[in-house]
Structure 1
Amino acid sequence: MSHNKAISQILSLDPVRTSLASEDPEVNAWNADVLDQVVQRAIRTFPKTPSKLDLQEYRSLSERANLLSKHFEERSPEYTRLAGHIAELRELIGPFEIERAEAAEDLFNHPLTQFIMEFDGTFDETMVPKLRLQLIQYMRKCLIPVILESDSKSDRKKLHALLMQLTYIGKAFDHFDLDGSFEDAFRDGLKQFLFKGVTSHHIYQNLLRFPKGFSEVASEKEKEKVARAIAAFVQYKLAPFLRDLDVQPSYEEIETITRNLRLFNHNLLKPSIQTLESFL
């Protein structure tokens, strides 16, 4: 969906600082109609099995459009059609949001989750071989899928606590883990959690929807400050994961970020662009 220029432009608008509503009724009607057409197009092109990036963009569009539409509603009640289409888009997204929420709820209510969170270092050694295998399956089939899909801060806080306790359990079970399977499963989960932290970072998210006019309106001092922050983020947070075969960076997202950095066109970002290009 990111190839749609109109959608990208709406996602780049800040609803707090930007109002599409106008004192001029004709301008008002025009802007509302344009926004409505974009939302309707999103409804028509909504895929049967949206990717994570698709869901993220559709969710952002519905939230951004909803906030922008309130500017029109404050001036006139005649823009209910726009509100109706935004509600329709949210209904399309809803089942996928519920599915993701249910997976997280199932994980946090899982009997092994309770065991992990209550583990105090005491255990029956005769039970460890079976428990170790159960925990490996738990990490691979329950924990990691939720890590990959989780966006909320509350869920990430719970996942962080789970991983901390699994570190504790891993140390306690270390001499039982002869083939290293427990450590491998835990390390995979930890890497996915850390990488998810990178892709949900505000710099990463801003780079996906970098405002195209920024370079023209920002001062040289401001552009340099932003470029330094981006360069540090790419070098120290993002780049290590691009070379890690255990995680799967989104080719589409890295391509979008690289393209946006080229548009920014700052000398400080040349090494970052080269790093990202080496992944593509």
Structure 2
Amino acid sequence: MAVKNKRYYWIQLTQDFFKSKEMKLLRKIAGGDTHTIIYLKMMLISLEDGGCIYYDGLADNLAEEIALMIDENVEDIKITLLFLESKGLLTRKSDRDYFLEQVPEMVGSETASTRRSRKHRELMALHCNTIATTCNGDIEIEKDIDTEIEKDIDTEIEKDVDENPVALIVKEYQSRIAQLDGTQFEILKEFITLDGMEAKVVLKAIGLAADNGKRNFSYVRAILTNWKNNGVLTIAAVDERERVYKESKIKGQSGNQKSNVPEWSQPNYVNTTSEETKKGLEQKKKEMLERLEKGKN
């Protein structure tokens, strides 16, 4: 039985992250530290999707769905979302898709095999520094590892696309998106070889990204990860998902079905859960606006 090559993700904050105007304003509003933690947690849950957050309609609104994942107060999350959207840190791509703008430049990742190779090289480097030896053989091995993936890409492109769908994916990506590097190539291959996704599904994601003017790898990976997480592994499943979504959107516009747009993003949103909760939220909004005005002066 093949062992899945797990991928690890992390956030790389810049040295001046907390010195930015946006983060200073966020921390100055009532409960600012809580809202900052919520923002960081949102970044973490969006890592595998390259910064995308999806509203699946399981809860009444996006804030409630996020609360289920990060175990924070719903009202605090709503205020955080309002702030992020007002500062351009959170943008809405569609009724269901939202994007944290800072994440792509902060995300780092590597596969389990890459991590093992890196740790091995670090160990050998330490060994070389501790013991008087040239370790020339290990240096040559490291060079081979670093160039192996790039050679794999060239090999795949040379193959007959009819016999090897991966070659078609490489050509499609490089013709419609951008040059494909070794790490990106391995990630796309994993969707097929490890996750059992049809090659046509990967091609579909590349086409959607290109058609929407999103010529970056994070966007393609976000689409594929979302489909994988929802069990959409065949082109038939993708087509069915699109059909259902279009039908629900049409029904929502005609008033026969509740809109999928989260309540917090509506311009006339009013929290009606209870009078006590509503007063608390209004007070927090008032304090936030007062702090924001003070920050401008």
Normalization by structure 2: what TM-score? Answer: 0.24
Richer in helix (by share): 1
Which has the higher relative contact order, 1 or 2, with Cα contacts under 8 A spaced 6 or more apart? 2
Richer in strand (by share): 2
Normalization by structure 1: what TM-score? Answer: 0.25
